[in-house]
Structure 1
Amino acid sequence: MTDTESTDDRTLHVYVGEEDRLREQTKDVLRAIEAGDEPEDAGHTHVLNFESEADLARLLSPANLELLRAIRQHEPESMRAAADVVDRDFKEVHRNLTELSELGIIELVSDGRSKRPIAQYDDIEVHYSLVNDEVTTEQAGA
């Protein structure tokens, strides 16, 4: 992410169980581009799709949200500094930051012997359908 990109480009769009629909939307965007048209959903370039509500809940846990806000607002120089900002145990914060990095929500940049967490997004928008008729028993809480 560069400084010249607009703030709209710093929004992560999160979906749950929408893999097929997102695949079709991607195909539509590619068809529009090939035809020389401006795709309607071209602004949704940063997308994360979870298979279940449990995965979404883990991302949106109060601890993770607090950590993401702290990284965005305070720009800590290391993982340990991030743990200090949120006043939490380093091992727990390290685990959270590693998971957030694997999801592409933050970047961990090596800086000497430490890793500096960098927020990739300013906003997270969750798109959740209440009319999805393919809810599994795990998703329904059974």
Structure 2
Amino acid sequence: MYEAGLEAIQRLEDGKAVGKPATVTFANEKQLGEVFNERTYTLLRVIREDQPASIRETARFAGRDVKNVHEELTTLEALGVIRFDRDGQSKRPVFPYDDLFISPFAHGSGDTAATV
């Protein structure tokens, strides 16, 4: 963390932009829990580790129904957590980040829960 801070300061001094992580904010912890749950984590692990070629393959690796997996992945895409790369007729889910940090605590005014 300290090194990252020093790098950010150096970039600012050099007149370069400092990247800010993508953030998704939920109205409350209940909504956060509805999106990020054990099923979601399993899907993200499958995408990251197995690199499935399609939604159907993602469902097969996760041992789940294709329709339900499609719905959950569509929600994650809308939130910017994953993206889909087209491969012919298939949509390949991709987790384009190094890490996912979830904080159920508000970091500003109001009752919110953030995912970074």
TM-score range, shorter chain: 0.7 to 0.9
RMSD: 2.8
Deviates further, 82-91 or 118-127: 118-127
- The letter for the 2-side match of 1:55 is Q
- The letter for the 1-side match of 2:25 is N
Secondary structure at the aligned position of 2:92 is classed as: strand
**1:63-82 aligned within 5 A:** 63-82=39-58
State the identity %.
34
**Distance verdict in 2 for CA 1:103–1:87, change over 3 Å:** same
- The letter for the 1-side match of 2:65 is D
For the residues of structure 2 that align with 1:131 and 1:82, how far apart are their CA atoms? Answer: 34
Identify the residue that residue 129 of structure 1 maps to in structure 2.
Answer: 105
Q: TM-score, with normalisation over the residues of structure 1?
A: 0.60
Asked if residue 59 in structure 1 is aligned to residue 2 in structure 2, the reply is no
Identify the residue that residue 119 of structure 1 maps to in structure 2.
Answer: 95
Identify the residue that residue 94 of structure 1 maps to in structure 2.
Answer: 70
For the residues of structure 1 that align with 2:86 and 2:107, how far apart are their CA atoms? Answer: 44
**Alignment length (residue pairs):** 101
* Unpaired stretches in structure 1, ≥5 consecutive residues: 1-7, 9-31
Asked if residue 49 in structure 1 is aligned to residue 63 in structure 2, the reply is no
Asked if 2 retains the 8 angstrom alpha-carbon contact of 1:72 and 1:122, the reply is: no
Q: TM-score, with normalisation over the residues of structure 2?
A: 0.72
For the residues of structure 2 that align with 1:97 and 1:55, how far apart are their CA atoms? Answer: 16
